[in-house]
Structure 1
Amino acid sequence: MGAGRSLPRFAARETGIVVAVQAVVLTALSGRYGFHRDELYFVAAGRRPDWGYVDHPPITPWLARASTALFGETPAGLRVVATLLGMATVVAVTLVAREFGGGRGVQLFTAIATASSTYVLVVSHMLATNSADVLLWSLITLSGLRLLRTGDGRWWLAVGATAGLGLANKWLVLLLLSGLGIGVAVAGPRRVLRSWWLAAGVAVAVVLAAPVVLWQASRGWPMLSVAGGISEDDGAENRVLFVPMQLVLLSPVLVPVWVAGLVRPWREPALRWARPLAIAYPVVCGELLVLGGKPYYAVPLLLPLMALGAEPVLAWLRRGTTRRVLTGAAAVVCGAVSVLIGLPVLPPAALDPVLAMTKEPGEQVGWPEFAVSVADAWAKIPAADRDTAVILAGNYGEAGAIERYGPERGLPQPYSPHMSYADWGPPPDRLVGPVLLVGRIAPGSPAARLITGCRPVSAHRSPAEVNNDENGVRLSLCTLTRPWSQAWPQLRRFY
């Protein structure tokens, strides 16, 4: 489909039905479990608006603040924005399918496949940085493809605007831009690189991203410290799992579709302008393997590739009844697995098989009960000492849960040296009483010399003994050996 040919009509009715069903399902299930630990962190960050945080740019916390302000500080209220982002992603990817000449059937298939894929279900059910990221990647790809197909340099402005917003949400968008840029340099059409509109698009991106970049630069680039910690701690595991996870994160039944998308521009001369997309995916995968990035970072690029491969796959299915029956059966099975993984349809007591594949559902269970456990441990501090005592949470999820559910249980503001919570501390030096420590301190670490004499008072148990990261967490009463202002820099953790 070249610049001289008109595009098919957008299947607005069919796509609208898909996103309406998507909205109903996501809304109905949005409050079934509870907040994810990351969501608690985003809500806490949203209460402290800034141009950045040590481990992510500001857009997701800003969205969390807006959603909870409008719809209530509940899991269902927070997740309204995640649902809207998921719906917009379905529309964007469907428009990508149209860009390749896909008609009504291809667009409907793309919309259904996108909405029901495991990755999109997960990031549309709960608010994560990936919730906006997958939409922004889809919009950058859509604008870039329109630029390549038509040669109209004005589309650089759209690319620049969405790239700038992407940088204000998650810097992984740089991988997408580098992949597409290398693809254009290798396969063309290179004429789009000679347009002055490119400079205009870059200027738009720079203006939008500048406050975020300057915030990071003024604080010594903490996001790079976080990324380095992820690579150092998880890099080897990420590399081993990278290829297998590419096959399952979207859905195994969709693998032949996006593989067909990788091949199609090389087989159809009319689509040679789309070859940069087929090149971008392996480039991004290679970059992530070198960096030790998480396997799901590359998944947003599989969605436009799936849209590209939809038409030849549907044509192949039309040529045989047996093919359709077997593929339909596989789609039903994979769809059921995607729902079990991505949505809270199982009771918490039945989550163990799902947790063997992903820990995300377990991270949404038991936070109010966790706050109760902390309150019970807090009550063991003598009343005369509580005014100078401190709750020190081991990670941002624990701190976020205590901040959200603690006040109604009589708990004070928690502190944590983890991620941006470290910037929101330290406790005042006047708080010289007992330290209620959530979690353990590694022997031999700087923290072990600063927080001593720990005496376990209880251990938290998750509801239904769900095997999440907080099940069995120890609560101890400890002593601080130096003032908080001196100890805090040695306690902070970026990962």
Structure 2
Amino acid sequence: MTTETTDPLVRVEAGGRGRDGDFARGPVLLIAAAVAAVLAIASESAGYFFDELYFLVAGRDHLAWGYFDQPPLVPALAGLLDRVAPGSLLVFRLPVTLGAALTVVLAALIARELGGGRGAQVLAAGAVAVSGTVLMSHYLATYTVDPVLWTLLLWLLARWVRTRSDRLLLLAGVVTAVSLQTKFLVPALWAAVAVGVLLCGPREMLRRPALWAGAAVAVVATVPTLLWQAANGWPYAQMGAVVRDEWPGTTGFVLGVVLFAGLVGAPLVLVGLIRVGIALARPPHRHPAAWLAVALVGVCVAFALSGGRSYYTLAILPALVALGAVKLTAWARGRARRTRGTLAALGFTVGAAALLLSVPVLPAAWLAQIPGAPAAAVEAGERVMEPGAMAATAAYQALPDGTRRQTALFAQIYPLAAAVDVLGERAGGPPAYSPHRGYGYFAPPPESQTNALWVGFETVPDTFRRYFADCAPRPVDGLEVWLCTGRTTPWAAMWPSIRSR
């Protein structure tokens, strides 16, 4: 039995829309639990990713209202978790492990709000479970915290469209406030939602006082980090250029989006957008999910044109997948059921296998028997800065006692500096300083340290060397090490001019 929606192309399972009792609780929660278990096991891998090391140091040793490259939430969270359970990767990554599981559930709930029955909900949850959203949640990072926040935000808006309960709009403002403490990207989502609502309705959303009350909450909560940015010359504004310099162009962006969507998710995204587009081309029928489709496409286009990284779209991928799951299951009801089942089983099997081979969850002995397993590369990547950190620490400790007390250890790039601060510290090493990115906005060394031991992968730059009477190389295999002595300018005076991005 089926019931009609306002969309002439979509037929929804009976009871599939608008009832509290039709949520596919059992299978969806089972999928979410499996995701949490896989990520929890994978957490105890080789070590911290270099961005995690940076977040840890920033929150543990340099807690502030803002940073060169982000607001304060993730560093503060990293520092807190390290204090709760020092050195425990399981605890350190627990927020994103639970966040990924919740994102799976929220994808199913969005599918439900868009009219999807149990089949659509399970399909959406499963597709997210084997997508890049879960794969990247192996790490605690800004780009792995945002997906659960954005998916929660979109679920609140989708539910408001159906229920018109204004408390949902106020809650959306609170979620936005939290997201603004992670990255400054969520205004792009709200701008796209506004365009979608203006073009396709319900325009009533933009007239609700609760929406603007929520916006006020978000603005007030963001004032401290904005004041930090203003006091430091708005360094976050430089991140756009940094991203464009490091990331491939539009072709690479599109390819990355497809890969992150996964074998199951990519077809769902395509199906959902195509069928919404067909419905929009047949007025006067108004598609109930049109505002969402326009918003999600708008965000993708904005990221692509601005030179954003493809993994930014992990934050909207669950909603895209949910939209496609609703469209596909509605269209396919009664059509080649056996074929559909076979294709779905094949897609999920391959997707799950790819996930298990991409995060370090299988025993190392098994992975060693699988040539090219991505999980092996993941674990190797977690060790990539360790040799440099140990070599830099050893080079510092090899200095004569008198020289060492007057010398600050400088790392060329922030990943090396963070590795020295965490891994080198465990070997009795000193704190690290660096002019690179976020480290360039930490406090400089004390004035009593008149020398600098420069460590990196390139020779000491002239922008740094010119502030010392002499810089001489020191022999260290695999690393450029220079001892610069006789500082001629106070650290505070030279600090802004040596910063690099």
Which TM-score applies when normalising by structure 2?
Answer: 0.86
1:262 aligns with 2:266: no
What is the alpha-carbon distance in structure 1 between the residues aligned to residue 352 and residue 342 of structure 2?
A: 15
Look up the match of 1:464: none
Aligned equivalent of 1:396: 414
Aligned pairs for 1:64-103 within 5 A = 64-103=78-117
CA distance in 2, matches of 1:180, 1:130: 20
d(CA) in 2 for partners of 1:171, 1:337: 32
Between 99-108 and 56-65, the greater mean CA deviation after superposition:
99-108
Aligned residues of 1:8 and 1:103 also touching (Cα < 8 A):
no
Task: Indicate the SS of the match to 1:458.
Answer: coil
Q: Distance in 2 between matches of 1:106 and 1:224?
A: 41
2: CA distance, partners of 1:92 / 1:322? 28
Q: Which residue of 1 aligns with 2:176?
A: 163
Preserved contact between residue 103 and residue 148 of structure 2 (Cα < 8 Å):
yes
What is the CA distance between 1:30 and its match in structure 2? 0.8
The counterpart of 1:432, out of the listed 442, 450, 463, is: 450
Task: Give 1:321's aligned residue.
Answer: 338
- What does residue 378 of structure 1 align with? 396
For residues 452-463 of structure 1, the aligned pairs below 5 Å read 453-459=471-477
Q: CA deviation at 1:179?
A: 1.1
The amino acid across from 2:435 in the alignment is P
8 Å contact kept, 2:450–2:487: no
In the alignment, residue 473 of structure 2 is paired with which amino acid? R
- 1:245–1:293 Cα change, 3 Å: same
Partner residue, 2:10 = none
- Tell me, what secondary structure is at the counterpart of 2:433? coil
Any gaps of 5 or more consecutive residues in structure 1?
460-471
Structure 2 counterpart SS, 1:251: helix
Deviation of 1:314 (Å)? 3.9
* 1:240 match: 251
Aligned partner of 1:332 in structure 2 is 349
Matched with 2:213 is 200
Deviation at 1:282, TM superposition (A): 2.3
1:184 aligned partner? 197
Contact 1:257 1:310 in 2 (8 A): yes
- Aligned letter for 1:234? E
What secondary structure, in the 3-state scheme, does the structure 2 residue paired with 1:273 have? coil
Q: Is the 8 A contact 1:458 1:476 kept in 2?
A: no
User: How far did residue 156 of structure 1 move?
Assistant: 1.9
Compared CA separation, residues 4 and 105, structure 1 to 2 (3 A): closer
Q: Is 1:37 aligned with 2:15?
A: no
Deviation at 1:137, TM superposition (A): 0.6
How many residues are treated as equivalent by the alignment?
A: 477
Q: 1:41 to 1:352 in 2, by over 3 A?
A: farther
**Partner Cα distance (2:232, 2:474) in 1:** 36
Q: CA deviation at 1:241?
A: 0.6
Report the residue type matching 2:259 in the other structure: V
Is 1:409 equivalent to 2:427 in the alignment? yes
- C-alpha contact 1:118 1:339 (8 A) present in aligned 2: no
**Partner SS state of residue 250, structure 1:** helix
User: Deviation string for 1:8-62 (max 9, x for gaps)?
Assistant: 5223332222222222221112112100111111111111322111110111112
TM-score (norm 1): 0.87
**Alignment-derived partner of residue 475 in structure 1:** 481
- SS for the counterpart of 2:22 is coil
Cα deviation for residue 152 of structure 1 reads 3.5
One-letter identity of the residue aligned with 1:486 = A
1:243 partner amino acid: V
Q: Kindly provide the CA deviation profile for residues 432-461 of structure 1, in whole angstroms up to 9, marking residues without a partner as x.
A: 235242332475x523534663414213xx
| Structure 2 counterpart of 1:279 | 294
* RMSD over aligned Cα atoms: 3.0
Relative to 1, partners in 2 of residues 1:377 and 1:238: Cα closer, same or farther, differing over 3 Å? same
- Give runs of ≥4 in structure 1 deviating > 6 Å: 268-271, 348-352
Please state how far the C-alpha of 1:336 moved relative to its aligned partner: 2.5
CA contact (8 A) 1:92 1:138 kept: yes
Q: Which residue of 2 aligns with 1:490?
A: 497
- Residues 49 and 375 (structure 1), Cα distance of their counterparts in 2 relative to 1, 3 Å cut: closer
Report what 2:382 is aligned to: 364
- In 1, Cα distance between equivalents of 2:386 and 2:465: 29
Q: Identity, % of aligned pairs?
A: 32
CA shift, 1:328, in A, is: 3.1
Distance 1:246-1:183 versus aligned 2 partners, 3 A rule: same
Partner of 1:105: 119
Matches of 1:18 and 1:295 in 2, distance apart?
25
Is 2:310 the counterpart of 1:304?
A: no
CA drift at 1:280: 1.4
Deviation larger for 58-67 or 175-184: 58-67
Distance 1:324 1:114 in 2: 18
Aligned to 2:441: 423
Q: Distance in 2 between matches of 1:214 and 1:331?
A: 47
Amino acid of the structure 2 residue aligned with 1:282? V
Amino acid corresponding to residue 325 of structure 1 in structure 2: T
Please, which of 304, 307, 310 is the counterpart of residue 289 of structure 1? 304
Q: 1:195 to 1:425 in 2, by over 3 A?
A: closer
Larger deviation: 250-259 or 1-10?
A: 1-10
C-alpha displacement of 1:473: 4.1
